[in-house]
Amino acid sequence: MACENTLLTLKLIVIFSKQTLVHGKDSLTLLMLNKSSDFFHPRA
């Protein structure tokens, strides 16, 4: 029983970390875009 719970938890962690990686990449890309747009168009 405890073994099954551990496997379930591991599966959830893997799924969650995969989603976080995807979102992390997206937000990193957005951050880079914002930084580069600030660089090319400095705010007064």
Mean pLDDT over all residues of the chain? 77
Calpha distance 23→40 (Å, rounded): 26
Amino acid residing at 13: I
The pLDDT of residue 9 is above 80: yes
| CA 28 to each of CA 5, 7, 24: distance values in angstroms, whole numbers, following the listed order | 34, 31, 6
Amino acid residing at 38: D
- Does the predicted model carry a pTM greater than 0.85? no
Residue 34 confidence class, pLDDT cut points 50, 70, 90: confident
HEC assignment per residue over the chain: CHHHHHHHHHHHHHHHHHHHHHHHHHHHHHHHHHHHHHHHCCCC
